[in-house]
Chain A
Amino acid sequence: KAGVTQTPRYLIKTRGQQVTLSCSPISGHRSVSWYQQTPGQGLQFLFEYFSETQRNKGNFPGRFSGRQFSNSRSEMNVSTLELGDSALYLCASSLEVTGNTGELFFGEGSRLTVL
């Protein structure tokens, strides 16, 4: 059974540009969550999508957005990139809405560097 696939794995952008990251969940999983991971802050929750609807959202500015398609694949977009957006962006899928005890299956992440 294929795992969570994230593309691209690495990318370099400059300030002011925008970026779109893609996540394909495990087959049959309907929930996709996005996280930002930095050395100092750990994992910060961005948002969770289930059945094409945003179910939960973290404390990030509106420059961060996402969507989920009918096949459960998800994309996240960051507009007007800032240096502080440099991070590893992780996608995680689960069978249902995560809740408190659901197991998250993570992809390998997309490492974004903003110059």
Chain B
Amino acid sequence: TQLLEQSPQFLSIQEGENLTVYCNSSSVFSSLQWYRQEPGEGPVLLVTVVTGGEVKKLKRLTFQFGDARKDSSLHITAAQPGDTGLYLCAGGNSNYQLIWGAGTKLIIKP
């Protein structure tokens, strides 16, 4: 059974701080997606990475796919209250399915 473990499960920091959340597996994935879900809403896609070692930047967010395509990280620089939400990673497997992590709940305090 393929699993994606996200850490930490919960993170509460002050506005302006930097943070990194992780998405790890013992399995290889062909792609890795990151979504953000705000309370009362469905998840919204932030990025898709498909190449081992790939780095993508979205304003203050930096996403990295591990060289072996088993893990990924999301780094946020100078976090803002608007970054608050549940961050979910989802890995694409060889059966064309998405395997989801349980999420990191992030709270940015003003």
Which residues in A have some Cβ–Cβ distance to B below 8 Å? 4, 35, 40-45, 56, 90, 92, 97-101, 103-104, 106-109
Q: A41-B102, A100-B30, A100-B31 are in contact. Are A56 and B42 (CB under 8 A)?
A: no
- Asked if A42 and B100 make an inter-chain contact with CB atoms under 8 angstroms apart, the answer reads yes
- Asked if B41 and A108 make an inter-chain contact with CB atoms under 8 angstroms apart, the answer reads yes
Count of chain B residues near A, Cβ 8 A: 25
Interface Cβ pair total, 8 Å cutoff: 56
Nearest chain A residue, comparing its CB with the CB of B29:
A100
- Asked if A43 and B100 make an inter-chain contact with CB atoms under 8 angstroms apart, the answer reads yes
User: For the complex, what is the distance from the CA of A106 to the CA of B45, rounded to whole Å?
Assistant: 9
Q: Note all chain A residues with C-beta closer than 8 A to B52.
A: none
**Majority SS at the chain A contact face:** loop
Chain B proximity of A53: nearest CB distance (Å): 15
Q: Note all chain B residues with C-beta closer than 8 A to A109.
A: 42
Chain B proximity of A11: nearest CB distance (Å): 16
Q: Note all chain B residues with C-beta closer than 8 A to A104.
A: 35, 43, 45, 98
- Asked if B42 and A92 make an inter-chain contact with CB atoms under 8 angstroms apart, the answer reads yes
From A40, A41, A98, contact of B98 by CB (8 A): A98
- Confirm or deny: B66 has a beta carbon within 8 angstroms of a beta carbon on chain A: no
